[in-house]
Amino acid sequence: NAGVTQTPKFQVLKTGQSMTLQCAQDMNHNSMYWYRQDPGMGLRLIYYSASEGTTDKGEVPNGYNVSRLNKREFSLRLESAAPSQTSVYFCASSERVNTIYFGEGSWLTVV
């Protein structure tokens, strides 16, 4: 009964370091998403993947890369972290847009 699993849950990075946020879903969904949430800004779409092998930019893609490794997994990479990327990151998946399931979130701090 895992749903959408994100790792790590908490991470502190130094400016310029790189890291990858991992996301996996066990619901056989085609679509997966990465959002970031900042105070007062709501959820903003970074990247999404409509199906295995495809990825598309969202509203705020700069500074991020993604990989849809297979149908289950969708990773988000920060190549050179910046303080502006301090945020809460949510991975999500769906089969239809009216049933989006979110992971528990990853709290990232860049110092």
Specify whether the CB–CB gap between 88 and 108 falls below 8 A.
Answer: yes
The nearest distance, CB 80 to another protein, in angstroms, is: 26
Size of the site for another protein (CB under 8 A): 23
User: Does residue 53 touch another protein according to CB under 8 A?
Assistant: no
Q: Pick from 66, 68, 86, 69: which is nearest to 15 by CA?
A: 86
Strands 10-13 and 106-110: parallel
Q: Pick from 103, 93, 102, 44: which is nearest to 72 by CA?
A: 93
State which of residues 1, 2, 42, 53 lies at the interface with another protein (CB under 8 A): 42
User: Does residue 11 touch another protein according to CB under 8 A?
Assistant: no
User: Does residue 55 touch another protein according to CB under 8 A?
Assistant: no
Residues 59-98 that bind another protein (CB under 8 A): 59, 90, 97-98
Asked if the bond preceding 8 is cis, omega within 30° of 0, the reply is: yes
Q: Which residues bind another protein (CB under 8 A)?
A: 31, 33, 35, 40-45, 48, 50, 56, 58-59, 90, 97-100, 102-105
